[in-house]
Structure 1
Amino acid sequence: MNRYLAFDIGGTFLKYGVVAENMTVVETNKVKTPDSLEGLLRTMEEISHLNNEVKGVAVSCPGAVSPEGIIKGSSALHYLHGPNIKHLIEDRLNVPIFMENDAHCAGYAEFWKGAAKGKKDVLVMVLGTGIGGAVFKNAELHKGANLHGGEFGYMLLNSDIHDSNDVWSRVASTKALVRVVAERKNIAVDSLSGEQIFSMAEAGDADCLQALDRFYHLLAVGIYNLQYIYDPEVILLGGGISARENLIEKIDEKLDGILAVVDLAKVKPKIAACKFKQNANLLGAVYGWLKEFNRSKVASI
């Protein structure tokens, strides 16, 4: 059975793993993301030499990935934007390379053998420090005219716009949740985490409970908008927070409240958690590799 080396380039860590065609993750590891492009390429080359029996290499990365291999848009890794990253990796590793946006890869994993398998029209939301996502129409990824299809986080929820802090990512992400609680408690943002906020809320902390209630509401408002823009079969929620057992339930309650007020709305968004968590980007990147280089293999798995 063929194996593939997958990389997930993140702002903090470069994660990598060997993935088999049956979607088995043979092994994974991670290193601190290098602070330069040369450092990144050298690290990927060293890892590739240790896994020289793989059939190909799949790369998940931030930013708007163009077909030719240039990463547009913006991300925490400024050095990724400008040069043709795909060609540079191919030159170093000397194997066929597939490269795609990280949220798109997460969506691919769900279509491979996850919560989107067998479906056609699906939105995938990835919740983290921002809100990313992927749009699938007839089970095919829709990237858009400017490669920004699925960038749900740029949505505006308030007509009274002051600055970029009014976009959905800045008010309804886990980073926003931490900022709100830190401001209420007059403590440093770096001294607090999302996990701590959930734990404190479970213990009855009023600030955390109020912030979470608002957080769920803002997520529900954006999801309501997405449903009526695209009318998908399901909207899947991914990212670390999607592992929380009551996340779907809490957002679902807020959606009920919205539909009770907006009586013109008859279709309630169907939401569910993504199946794949920490390895979603690695798995989805390999699925993308198979789609690009071996479509017959995709059809049989």
Structure 2
Amino acid sequence: MQSLGLVDIGGTSIKFAIWDGHALQEHHAITTPKNLTDFFDLLTSEVEKMKAMAPIVGVGISAPGAVDKQTGIIGGASAIPYIHNFKIQQELSAKFGLPVSMENDANCAALAELDSGAGAGANSLAFFVVGTGVGGSIIINHRIWHGAHLFGGEFGFTMATATHTVSELGTVPNALRRYQASNPQAAPIDGKQLFELASNGDEAAGKEVQTIYRTLATAIYNIQYSFDPEKIVLGGGVSNNPALIPGIETEIEKIRAQVKIASLKPDVVPCVYTDEANLRGAAVDFEQSYPDLG
């Protein structure tokens, strides 16, 4: 394929790279501007630099929020409020003088994993991003399932119990808050320490870690039996923890033992790409959006 400019818009920094068809080149990050004018100036300047370095035929963009690929508008909300609710894709294309594709960041990460990462060779997958909340993506026949209201893959909004969502019970930050509340005299800890305490027999930590495992296992089980993807890919910082998938799989087995008819075991794997995922996925999205140029 031909060269592309790639942009990954984040609340703290914006990443840039040139895709040469095989790897990211000139990969770097710049602090996210505080306003739309500076944002446009930065992206236009960086794309001009890319043009000078490579014969790029277009720009693929990974963005937060509910990206509507039909209208070129980013709905919803994010840490960058000024990019929402106007035809930003068309404006960027005009400023760059190039075709622009734009997709949600979690969807881009999922496309990267399907293309050449943990889901390579599959036609479908569910991608879970476990961070401060639980987001993700569903891909069917190599295409993102956006849903009628662009809520496809918002696993964190689903209910884990009668009173709590998957994001409330299945994430490390919320588990830490509950642990600190039950141990007000204890010094603050991070997620790694929470798992270490649990493995060393701390009952309160063990309870919270088990809650994470059970919640994610339930969500994964439900997605498996709703969409039946070939693979379930886990991303986000906690996916680096080697105890995570075994802990989830133990809970999935408990669910399968409880639901006797559940013969299928979800194939749960960790993501391959980390900081490159959104950029790589933006390249895949551009290829799908402009097949004659990719």
The TM-score with structure 1 as length reference comes to 0.88
Classify 1:134/1:57 alpha carbon distance in 2 versus 1 (closer, same or farther; 3 Å): same
Q: What residue number does 2:10 align with?
A: 10
Q: What residue number does 1:47 align with?
A: 46
Work out the CA distance in 2 between the residues paired with 1:122 and 1:261. Answer: 25
Q: What residue number does 1:25 align with?
A: 24
Q: Higher mean Cα deviation, 11-20 or 203-212?
A: 203-212
- Does residue 38 of structure 1 match 2:37? yes
Work out the CA distance in 2 between the residues paired with 1:269 and 1:56. Answer: 38
Work out the CA distance in 2 between the residues paired with 1:197 and 1:246. Answer: 12
Work out the CA distance in 1 between the residues paired with 2:35 and 2:28. Answer: 20
Classify 1:187/1:147 alpha carbon distance in 2 versus 1 (closer, same or farther; 3 Å): farther
Deviation at residue 264 of structure 1 after TM alignment: 3.2
- Does residue 275 of structure 1 match 2:286? no
Determine helix, strand or coil for the equivalent of 1:265: coil
Determine helix, strand or coil for the equivalent of 1:98: strand
Pairs within 5 Å for 1:126-141: 126-141=129-144
2:93·2:100 contact (CA, 8 Å) conserved in 1? yes
Deviation at residue 116 of structure 1 after TM alignment: 1.8
The TM-score with structure 2 as length reference comes to 0.90
- Does residue 173 of structure 1 match 2:167? no
Q: Higher mean Cα deviation, 79-88 or 282-291?
A: 79-88
Pairs within 5 Å for 1:232-271: 232-271=229-268
Determine helix, strand or coil for the equivalent of 1:260: helix
Deviation at residue 283 of structure 1 after TM alignment: 0.2
Determine helix, strand or coil for the equivalent of 2:98: coil
Superposition RMSD on alpha carbons, in Å?
2.3
Determine helix, strand or coil for the equivalent of 2:160: coil
Classify 1:193/1:292 alpha carbon distance in 2 versus 1 (closer, same or farther; 3 Å): same
Pairs within 5 Å for 1:155-234: 155-159=158-162, 161=163, 166-186=164-184, 192-201=189-198, 205-234=202-231
Work out the CA distance in 2 between the residues paired with 1:187 and 1:10. Answer: 36
Deviation at residue 75 of structure 1 after TM alignment: 2.1
Q: 5+ residue gaps in structure 2? A: none
Deviations 1:265-293 (A, max 9, x none): 22222211122121110000011111212
Classify 1:187/1:295 alpha carbon distance in 2 versus 1 (closer, same or farther; 3 Å): farther
Give, as a single letter, the amino acid of the residue that structure 2 aligns with 1:48: V
Work out the CA distance in 1 between the residues paired with 2:40 and 2:201. Answer: 48
The runs of at least 4 aligned residues of structure 1 exceeding 4 Å deviation read: 199-206
Work out the CA distance in 2 between the residues paired with 1:181 and 1:12. Answer: 28
Q: Higher mean Cα deviation, 71-80 or 101-110?
A: 71-80
Classify 1:39/1:237 alpha carbon distance in 2 versus 1 (closer, same or farther; 3 Å): same
1:131·1:168 contact (CA, 8 Å) conserved in 2? yes
1:243·1:277 contact (CA, 8 Å) conserved in 2? no
Deviation at residue 204 of structure 1 after TM alignment: 5.2
Determine helix, strand or coil for the equivalent of 1:51: helix
Determine helix, strand or coil for the equivalent of 2:62: strand
Q: 5+ residue gaps in structure 1? A: none
- Does residue 117 of structure 1 match 2:120? yes
Determine helix, strand or coil for the equivalent of 2:242: coil
Deviation at residue 175 of structure 1 after TM alignment: 2.6
Q: Matched residues, percent identical? A: 33
Classify 1:192/1:35 alpha carbon distance in 2 versus 1 (closer, same or farther; 3 Å): farther
Q: Higher mean Cα deviation, 177-186 or 275-284?
A: 177-186
2:106·2:135 contact (CA, 8 Å) conserved in 1? yes
